[in-house]
Copies of this chain bind each other. A is one copy, B any other.
Amino acid sequence: MTQYRLTPLADALPSTVPFVGPETQERAMGRAFDARLGANENVFGPSPRAIEAMAQAQQWMYGDPESHDLRAALAAHHGISPANIIVGEGIDGLLGYLVRLMVTEGDAVVTSDGAYPTFNYHVAGFGGVLHKVPYAGDHEDPTALFAKAAEVDAKLVYLANPDNPMGSWHEGPVISSALEALPKGCLLVLDEAYIDCAPEGTAPDLVADDPRLIRMRTFSKAHGMAGARVGYAIGAPDLITAFGKVRNHFGMNRAAQAGALAALQDSDWLARVQARISEARDRIAQISEDNGLVALPSAANFVAIDCGADGSFAKAVLDGLVARGVFVRMPFAAPQNRCIRVSCGTPDNLDAFAAALPGALEDAKKG
């Protein structure tokens, strides 16, 4: 007998990381990236008010385990009740709690093939069985997702709108009407991490108490606070209450709560960031075109660029960019893996990308 005994489930899991961090790559390369455009971080950063609030926070105190003030402000912002909101350690943390609440060994879960790996990581981690549906023309396919959910008796179905890694999106009414076919006993996890980068009307117009779905939001993207780990979920009060069964009650960083509250109140800053994201998307499209590539339309803070061949070719382009000091990532599944994914950077970041891309393409074409 070994000294410690993992559960059979834990024993069977790989020790893995859904994504390798850019710092790991930098340490391996022995140099820093010139442009950090791979993790869909927001290079324009948080509101100065959020930065100040985080700097002023008194970190000797535990954070409020109820995140009361932040939840109250979010409730006012969305015109809903604080009882509809749970704050957690980023969407990643909240997805982990949600999967733990719903999924045990053998339970069916549905997602798109090539969608968010961290969700899949959590499902596997609790013994769930993932069923994957293909994208339809680089869009996640709600109708196919919900049909698959009915077929396999899924407890959860995951849909990101806007989508990551493709940047594609559905208008809100498309989601709302597809929801009519969501089977009973299946909860939709609607990941809206990028919603603040999307056109008006991308979020479906649904009441917060709708028992069919839980919506995930974050301060990591448009609000520029990825390092702070603040996400929240909107759902029916009984579902929100259930998080109290499993969450790390004192897990929320005190400064992060204060920063998110300040960020939420600075709508001017958010508008400026949204404009800069939009400019950066246009610039990435232009750089793509200049290099004979096609940038896909995006409602997120990144752009998927079709490299015009297969996954191996796109991977070679990616490797060429990384070797030239530009951190980018790419979709995992075919045929979306014909693309690379480039986050919206500053003009300087995108100059670095523009400078690196021709050489990376040339190398990739040489094989």
Known: A2-B185, A54-B55. A44 touches B60 (CB 8 A): yes
Q: Across the interface, do B18 and A92 meet the contact criterion of CB distance under 8 Å?
A: no
Q: Is there an interface contact between B39 and A6, defined as CB atoms closer than 8 Å?
A: no
Chain B, Cβ-Cβ closest to A17? B249
Within A249-286, the residues touching B (CB, 8 Å) are: 249-256, 259
B4 touches A211 (CB 8 A): yes
Cβ-neighbour of A250 out of B92, B224, B244, B246 (below 8 A): B92
Complex: how many Å from CA A82 to CA B261?
36
A291 to B172, CA, bound (A): 66
Tell me the complex Cα distance, A209–B125, Å: 26
**Cα–Cα, bound, A1→B187 (Å):** 12
Partner of A251, one of B3, B27, B93, B224: B93
A15-B62 contact given A1-B185, A7-B103, A68-B27, CB 8 Å threshold: no
Say yes or no: is A100 at the interface (Cβ < 8 Å to chain B).
yes
A155 touches B60 (CB 8 A): no
Chain A interface, DSSP helix/strand/loop, else mixed: loop
At the interface, yes or no: A45 with Cβ under 8 Å from chain B? yes
A227 to B7, CA, bound (A): 32
A118 contacts across to B, CB distance below 8 A = 249-250
Q: Is the CB–CB distance between B46 and A92 below 8 Å?
A: no
How long is the Cα–Cα vector from A16 to B24 in the complex, in angstroms?
38
A171 and B186 CA atoms in complex are apart in Å by 54
Q: Do residues A185 and B3 form an inter-chain contact, with CB atoms below 8 A?
A: yes
> At the interface, yes or no: A206 with Cβ under 8 Å from chain B?
no
A41 CB–B CB distance under 8 Å: yes
Q: Are A10 and B246 in contact (CB under 8 A)?
A: yes
Across the interface, do A255 and B227 meet the contact criterion of CB distance under 8 Å?
yes
A244 to chain B: which residues have CB within 8 Å?
15-17
The residue on B at minimum CB distance from A244 is B15
3 closest A-B pairs by beta carbon, nearest first, are A227-B254, A55-B55, A15-B244
**Sample (26) of A-B pairs whose CB atoms are under 8 Å apart:** A3-B184, A4-B102, A4-B155, A4-B211, A7-B101, A10-B100, A13-B246, A19-B65, A19-B250, A21-B62, A21-B65, A24-B64, A24-B65, A36-B61, A41-B62, A46-B60, A55-B55, A59-B225, A62-B227, A63-B229, A92-B248, A92-B251, A93-B251, A227-B254, A227-B255, A229-B251
* Chain A residues close to B by CB (< 8 Å): 1-10, 13-19, 21, 23-24, 27, 36, 39, 41-46, 51, 54-55, 57-66, 68, 89-90, 92-93, 96, 100-104, 107, 118, 125, 155, 184-187, 211-212, 220, 224-229, 239, 241-242, 244-246, 248-256, 259
10 new A-B contacts at CB < 8 Å, known A2-B185, A41-B61, A229-B250: A3-B185, A4-B102, A19-B250, A21-B65, A23-B68, A41-B60, A46-B59, A57-B227, A62-B226, A93-B251
